[in-house]
Each structure stands twice: as C-alpha cells, then as structure tokens.
Amino acid sequence: MDGEQQTSHLSSWLTHPWMIVGWFVLFVVAVISQRALLMAFFLFSFSMALFSRIWSRHILKKVSVEITTSNFRLFPGQEMTMHYQVNNKKVWPLIWLQWKQIFWPKGALVPSDPKEWESEKIDENNAVFFYSKRTAWILWHGMAQWESSWKAQCRGIYTLDSITLASGDGFGLSAATKNYIVENPLHMVVYPKLVPVDADNLFRKVWGTKFGTQGFIEEPTLNKGIRDFKPGDPWKKINWRLAALQRPLQVNIYETLKYDAIHFIVDVQSFLYNPCREEDFEDALSILASAMVALCEKNIAVGLSVPSSGPYPVAHYSPGTGEHHLMELLEGLARLLLESSGNIYEEIQRLSINNDIQSIFWVTYQAVIPSKLKENLNVLGNRKNIVLTYQDHSSMKLDSFALDSYTVLPMRNIKTIKD
C-alpha cells in the first residue's frame, strides 16, 4: 500500500506556532529577570510544545501497511480473516497508533466482533462506521501484526481501497491522521444466498433434441437398450428387473441429451415498483443463483447479462461451464444495486449475444413485458424466450404480446422450500 493522501493534524492550542514563540519569549524574559523557577517552567513548556509539534509532523512518515485476507469469495453467513501489518521504517517509535477501516453496518462484510465497531456522527441522522484497532509502542524499524474476523452478512461487494492511521505524542498535545490509498484495492465478494431449488422445470424448458457424445448428459429416464455387465460398470446402471428374473447381469444404456446453452438477462428495474422490493429482489437473486449452480452441475452452459449498477458498467458473460465461470456469474449478481441500476432493455442492444444461445430467460418481477422488448427481439434474433418471473402466477396479468411470444415460468416454482 504505497499511495498516500495529505496528512491532517490535530493539535492543542499549547502547541500552536504563536504559542511556541510565546513560550520562548517568556523564557527569555524569565532569564533576563533571573527567575529560576519561571525559567524552568517556560523552558519545559517551550521544549514540550516544540517537541510535540515536530513529532506529529513526522510520526507517520515512512510508515507502510500491508493487508491480506484468507478468502475473497464468500456466501452469507461465512467468515473470513483479514491480516494486518504496520511497518515503522524510521528511527522514531510510534508511541500509539490507531487503525480505522470504514465499512457499512448493513453492507456485505462487517467485523464479527461488535466491540471493534466505532462510529462518528456526520449529522443528526447519519454516521460513519469504522473497524477500529489501537496498538502501542511500535519501535524503530519495527512492526505490529494482528488479525480480525469479518462476517459476510448479505450479498454485495466490499472494496477495501483506503484506510486511516492516526498517531501522535505520548502527552496528547498533537496528533496526525493520514489516509492511505490501497494501490491494488481488495475486493471481497459475497455471493447471493443459495436456497434449495428443483431445477427440473428449467431443464425441461431448455431440453434439446440433438444427440452425441462430447458435452452431452446421460438421461436415465430414456433407456436406449441393454448390454452385458462388465467389471467396473456402476451398480446404478444394472437392470435389476432382469436380475430379479435370475438372468445374466445386464446394464442399461441410457440416451444422451444435449441441453441448449442458456442465457439469463436480469431486469433489475422491474423490482423497483413493488411494496417489498428489497426482500423480493434478494430472494429472486438467491433463486437465480441457486438455479445457475444447479445448471452448471448438469454441465449446461450458462450465461448472464446484467445492467449497469452504481460504479459497475453493463456486463455480459457468455455461456460457459466450470467452477471459475460459475464464480464470475455469481459475482455479476453480487454487484447489482436495486436503486441505481440501468435500463437493461436499452443496454442489451449494446451487447453481442452469441448465436449459439438458443434459450434466453428474462428475469423480471412481472410477466408483463414492455413494448421496448419488441425492438430488442430483432437484435436477439429468433430464439426460445422464457420469462422467469418472480410474481405469483395467480396474480399475473399477461398482455397478448407476452402470451404470444413467451413461455412464462414463475421463479418461485423452482424453489423447494417456500417462504
């Protein structure tokens, strides 16, 4: 962590430059007057004020910090450990040091121990929260190390891009505060909460009819034939019905199916205008994330498009498989902000949708599709379009366009444990 911002200083009026000059003048007057007791007092005051001021101006120079973490990717409820190190690279010791690291109490990551929380009021209704750590006596060319446990409490991204150090003299007369900028910010991602889902509905919507070997999935409900048992064949493939008739062991040969590559497009703004928008939005993302995990476990290529959200631009993840790709998809969901997301219907036109994508799921709150979508159909081409809606199916009001052009699938139908 090399970047630094300007140091700010907090000093007692006793160490003000004019006060230091005043102490020295009084000392000179005491010398001329030959008042030994006053000479000693003013000399001590002058020395302490000058020493304290010089100390605070240099105490945080040649001080570096290092931060590492045990985990950058978490799910809600998990904990991770941050490791801190402060290096004092000068001959002056740090008599005391305070570390402040800002966080949001309702954000993705918070210190596990509430005793490490500290707040400063901005006004009557707002406050800034810090993780605070105090330590003492970091000697010359020495260092201090400690660690802190942090808990992932909800979906989101916690970015550690700056910390604040404060130090000063041992008498409390002067202190310095410096904001250190993290040259390579640490991004800790908390994925959406995973919930139990039954993704069979999704599988049926994207079921392909092509057959082959590479990248295909064995479907045990479609029996293509039988053959003689060979050593090493899994027991679950044995035809137990024939075995019960005391015939030689036979194993079932199942048909292999190729599922279409599918793509989710999330309409964040559709969740803005309902009474329980925060809870519904988080629940919808949890269901969507869980469905993505289930699809990837089936080796189905999954893609994602999300609108711009806060500091993050519109993003498009082409369909793929594998754990690394799945983590990218979940991170795309983790960064979404309900209150500051762009219009996906306008931004989708700037995305390049791969021609291999045959099935597109529009994730929305209601099944009513804006007329703006008609224009986007020309961009997306002739594909299988499915509306994955969060709203209860019983309360849906579909316009004719949605009925004619879309298959509607209530999102909560794939959630096995209902709220």
For the domain that residue 335 is a member of, what is the CATH number?
Answer: 3.40.50.410
Number of domains in the chain: 4
Question: Measuring CA to CA, how many Å separate 37 from each of 22, 28, 34, 40, 412?
Answer: 17, 13, 9, 5, 84
Same domain for 72 and 164, yes or no, is yes
Same domain for 95 and 186, yes or no, is yes
Determine the pLDDT at residue 282: 92
Say which residues have a Cβ less than 8 Å from residue 200's Cβ, sequence separation at least 6: 414
**What is the per-residue pLDDT across 354-397, written as a single tens digit (0 to 9) for each?**
555 667 888 888 766 555 555 555 555 556 677 788 876 544 44
Same domain for 274 and 400, yes or no, is yes
* Residue 209 lies inside a defined structural domain of this protein: no
Say which residues have a Cβ less than 8 Å from residue 237's Cβ, sequence separation at least 6: 251, 252, 254
Same domain for 177 and 67, yes or no, is yes
Same domain for 179 and 228, yes or no, is no
**What is the per-residue pLDDT across 109-157, written as a single tens digit (0 to 9) for each?**
999 999 999 988 887 788 899 999 999 888 888 999 999 999 999 999 9
Same domain for 140 and 185, yes or no, is yes
Determine the pLDDT at residue 32: 86
Same domain for 318 and 401, yes or no, is yes
* Residue 360 lies inside a defined structural domain of this protein: yes
Determine the pLDDT at residue 360: 80
Q: Which of 190, 206, 237 is the last residue of a domain?
A: 190
Same domain for 235 and 315, yes or no, is no
Determine the pLDDT at residue 214: 42
Determine the pLDDT at residue 215: 46
* Residue 279 lies inside a defined structural domain of this protein: yes
Determine the pLDDT at residue 130: 93
Determine the pLDDT at residue 10: 60
* Residue 315 lies inside a defined structural domain of this protein: yes
Same domain for 50 and 120, yes or no, is no
* Residue 205 lies inside a defined structural domain of this protein: no
Say which residues have a Cβ less than 8 Å from residue 149's Cβ, sequence separation at least 6: 79, 80, 81, 111, 112, 113
Same domain for 132 and 244, yes or no, is no
Same domain for 274 and 230, yes or no, is no
* Residue 136 lies inside a defined structural domain of this protein: yes
Minimal CA–CA distance to 271: which of 346, 366, 336, 191?
366
Range of the domain at 225: 216-257
For the domain that residue 115 is a member of, what is the CATH number?
Answer: 2.60.40.10
**Positions of the chain with pLDDT under 50:** 208-215, 394-403
Determine the pLDDT at residue 109: 95
Q: Are 248 and 228 contacting, i.e. CB atoms less than 8 angstroms apart?
A: yes
* Residue 198 lies inside a defined structural domain of this protein: no
* Residue 210 lies inside a defined structural domain of this protein: no
Question: Percent of the chain, pLDDT > 70?
Answer: 78
Can you say whether the dihedral through the CA atoms of 328, 334, 335, 338 is positive or negative?
positive
Same domain for 169 and 282, yes or no, is no
Q: How far apart are CA 53 and CA 47, in angstroms?
A: 10
